[in-house]
Amino acid sequence: MRREAPGCSHTRLTSRCRVESVPGAASSPMLVRWFLLLLGTLSTQADLFQFDSITNVSSYYFNYIYCNIWEGECQPSQDDASQQGLARDLQTKLHGQHLAQSVVLKAIQGFIIDPESNKPLTLSFHGWSGTGKNFVARIIADNLYRDGVKSECVRLFIAPFHFPHARLVDTYKGQLREAIRDMVLRCPQTLFIFDEAEKLHPGLIDAIKPYMDHYDNVDGVSYRRAIFLFLSNIGGATINDVALDFWHSGQNREDIGMEDLEHRLRTETMESQGGFAQSELMSGHLIDFYVPFLPLEYRHVKLCARDAYIARGLETDEATLDEVAKAMLYVPKEERLFSAQGCKSVPQRINFFLP
């Protein structure tokens, strides 16, 4: 019987377990449970939201022994196929986002192949809803980890869902710090995704700021191999204005460069009303890249519709794709150039065009 260790086999770009057959492996679930009990591992549930964490010491030794002794030897590895997969997925599955394709690919690949990174990688995704921010986060997870966003090495936080009450921010701080520490002990190459990040309380961001800073370790734990993604709608109007200006001037949207947007996004983020502006994450210049997601045009919506049909194993034609795209709302009112919802509702809308 062959099993894969949860802390190391999940990572596709950064680590690989050399799994070997183990005598008596059929009883491994019972032995693992016994081992966890022996270490005094407790599964904890927070009162306000679940983190399903195990104690830091138990987590460290469990993964070390499980991976290095029980399952074989964990070795750092560069998986070229997975890196090519990330490039391919960004190129073929993400539509109308040449800047995000380029910046995300270079940032992730550069971070992965640099074992001496002096800080965790921190990216901030900006743009209208439906332009692909969550989609790119999933693409990253799918290519970093075997189980994608379901991996034990990935944690998604939705600001208004996980941290809804400002009066409980001190409680949230402790829970969030514990969750991040436990996950990094379990899987050093961890991916943290903060959706609707503009709604995070500034105290929450400051509570985890040390984990994104240039420290060798924090309380004996290194966070330098972690990746933090912040997804927000901040700057969406600014990005759209730049795209519209390029269209009015007769320039291709593909001519829009990072120099046209990144500085403006940083400035707008610092001046916003959310937790970002008031946090030390901004004043400490800890965000490595501000990644703009451009508004999607009619042609991009058609491509999203095509992908939605393919994902469901359905055949379609250009006329049907046109009908789906025409059913979307486009703005501004005069030009009707950009899809107001991006591609967000396309998978649901194709139901109306099925035979």
Give 11-73 as a DSSP string: BSSSEEEEE---TTGGGHHHHHHHHHHHHT---B--SSS---B--HHHHHHHHHHIIIIISEE
pLDDT value of residue 273? 77
Residue 257 has pLDDT above 60, yes or no: yes
pLDDT digits (tens, 9 = 90+) for 62-97: 554 444 443 333 333 345 656 789 999 999 999 999
CA distance 237 to 3: 49
- Model pTM? 0.80
Greater model confidence, 342 or 1: 342
Residue 5 has pLDDT above 90, yes or no: no
Distances in Å between the alpha carbon of 85 and those of 26, 79, 139, 282? Answer: 34, 10, 9, 32
Q: How do beta strands 338-339 and 15-19 pair? A: unpaired
pLDDT value of residue 17? 40
pLDDT digits (tens, 9 = 90+) for 163-205: 999 999 999 999 999 999 999 999 989 999 999 999 999 899 9
Q: Give the Cβ contact number of residue 139 at 10 Å.
A: 21
Region for 196 from its dihedrals, namely left if φ exceeds 0, alpha if ψ lies in -120 to 50, beta otherwise: left
Closest C-alpha among 252, 268, 253, 254 to residue 126: 268
Residue 302 has pLDDT above 90, yes or no: yes
pLDDT class of 213 with cuts at 50, 70, 90: very high
Percent of the chain at pLDDT > 90 equals 67
pLDDT value of residue 62? 52
Q: How do beta strands 330-331 and 191-195 pair? A: unpaired
